[in-house]
C-alpha cells in the first residue's frame, strides 16, 4: 500500500487502522488539485485490495483547520476549462471516499468549510472537536456545493436544515452539527484523536466481511424501496454464512473468549 503522498500524511495506526491527515497546514489544509489527486488515489486503491486495513480515520494536521475547502488562491485566474477539469477530479475523489468498502471515520479537528464540510458529510460518520466550525459557503462565491454537499448533507441533517445551511452559507458550531445529525460526538480537542481511534479499533476487531457487508447494505439500501432494501440485506447477509469468520464468531462465543477474525 502506498503511504507516501505530497499533501497527505498517511500511516498505519496499527495492523488494521489507517490514519490519514490532510497535510497542508500552511493553507488551512485547503483542497488544491494535488490533494484531490492524492485522496482519489488513496481511496480508489481500496477497491482493488484493502491490504488488511479494516477502518480509515481522516483528520487534518494542526488544531485550527480540518479543511478550509477549495484552495481559492490556486483557483484564482483559472479558465473555465481548467476549473471544470479540476472539479471533475474532485467529484471522482468524493465518489472514491463514498464508495470505499471499509468504514471511513472523520475526526474533524477544526474548521470544515466548503469542500471540507462536504467531505465530512461523505464519511460514514464523524466526531468533532468542540472548537470545530462548519459551513458551506459556495453561494457566497458565486457557485454552489458540487462535491456531494446537496446530496449527502440532506441525508444527514434533513432537507429543510440542509437548505438553510446551503442557501445562507452561514457557519455553524460543532454542537449544532451534533444536534442536527452531521456529527456523532463532540469532545475537547485533546481527546478527539484518541476517542476516534478507540472507535476505529473497536470496528476493526469485528469481522471484516460482516463490517463491509453491513456498510454496503445500509448505504445502498437507503437508495431503494423498503422491500428492495430488505431483499438486498438478505443478499448481503447470505454472503457471510459460509465464511470461516462466522464459524469463529460462534465458536468464540461458546468458548467464552474474544474471536480472532481473519476476513475469510
Q: What is the pLDDT of residues 40-87, one digit of tens each?
A: 999 999 999 888 999 999 999 999 999 998 888 888 888 999 989 999
Would you tell me which CATH number, out of the four given (3.90.226.10, 3.40.50.150, 3.30.70.100, 3.30.70.380), belongs to the domain 8-204? 3.90.226.10
Q: Phi then psi for 4, rounded to 5 degrees?
A: -100, 110
Q: What residue ranges of the chain are covered by domains with CATH 1.10.12.10?
A: 208-254
- Provide the annotated active-site residues: 118, 138
**pLDDT for 33:** 94
Domain(s) labelled CATH 3.90.226.10 in the chain stretch across 8-204
What is the pLDDT, as a whole number, of residue 18? 97
Q: Which residues, 6 or more positions from 174, have their beta carbon under 8 angstroms from its beta carbon?
A: 108, 128, 129, 130, 131, 132, 133, 134, 183, 186
Class of CATH domain 208-254: mainly alpha
Whole-number Å distance between alpha carbons of 21 and 1: 16
For the chain, give the percent of residues with pLDDT over 70. 100
Residue 28 zone, left/alpha/beta (φ > 0; ψ -120 to 50; rest): left
pLDDT, tens only, 118-138:
999 999 999 999 999 999 999
- Mean of all residue pLDDT scores within the chain: 95
> What pLDDT is attached to residue 178?
98
Q: For 21-46, what is each residue's pLDDT tens digit?
A: 999 999 999 999 999 999 999 999 99
Asked if the model's pLDDT at residue 264 lies above 90, the reply is: no
> What is the pLDDT, as a whole number, of residue 263?
84
Amino acid at each position: 500500500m502506498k503511504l507516501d503522498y505530497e499533501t497527505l500524511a498517511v500511516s498505519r495506526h496499527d495492523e488494521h487502522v489507517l490514519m490519514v491527515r490532510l497535510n497542508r497546514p500552511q493553507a488551512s489544509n485547503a483542497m488544491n488539485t494535488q490533494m484531490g489527486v492524492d485522496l482519489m488515489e488513496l481511496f480508489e486503491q481500496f477497491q482493488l485490495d484493502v491490504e488488511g486495513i479494516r477502518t480509515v480515520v481522516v483528520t487534518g494536521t494542526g488544531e485550527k483547520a480540518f479543511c478550509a475547502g477549495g484552495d481559492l488562491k490556486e483557483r484564482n485566474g483559472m479558465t473555465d476549462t481548467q476549473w471544470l477539469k479540476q472539479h471533475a477530479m474532485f467529484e471522482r475523489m468524493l465518489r472514491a471516499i463514498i464508495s470505499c468498502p471499509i468504514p471511513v471515520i472523520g475526526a474533524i479537528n477544526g474548521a470544515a468549510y466548503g469542500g471540507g464540510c462536504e467531505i465530512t458529510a461523505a464519511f460514514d460518520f464523524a466526531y468533532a472537536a468542540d472548537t470545530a466550525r462548519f459551513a458551506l459557503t459556495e453561494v457566497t462565491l458565486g457557485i454552489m456545493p458540487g462535491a456531494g454537499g446537496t446530496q449527502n448533507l440532506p441525508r444527514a441533517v434533513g432537507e429543510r436544515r440542509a437548505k438553510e445551511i446551503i442557501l445562507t452559507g452561514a457557519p455553524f458550531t460543532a454542537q449544532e452539527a451534533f444536534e442536527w445529525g452531521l456529527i456523532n460526538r463532540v469532545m475537547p480537542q485533546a481527546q478527539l484523536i484518541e476517542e476516534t481511534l478507540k472507535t476505529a479499533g473497536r470496528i476493526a476487531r469485528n469481522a471484516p466481511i460482516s463490517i463491509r457487508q453491513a456498510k454496503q447494505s445500509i448505504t445502498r439500501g437507503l437508495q431503494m424501496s423498503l422491500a428492495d432494501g430488505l431483499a438486498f440485506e438478505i443478499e448481503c447477509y447470505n454472503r457471510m454464512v459460509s465464511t470461516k469468520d462466522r464459524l469463529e464468531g460462534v465458536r468464540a462465543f461458546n468458548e467464552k473468549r474474544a474471536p480472532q477474525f481473519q476476513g475469510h
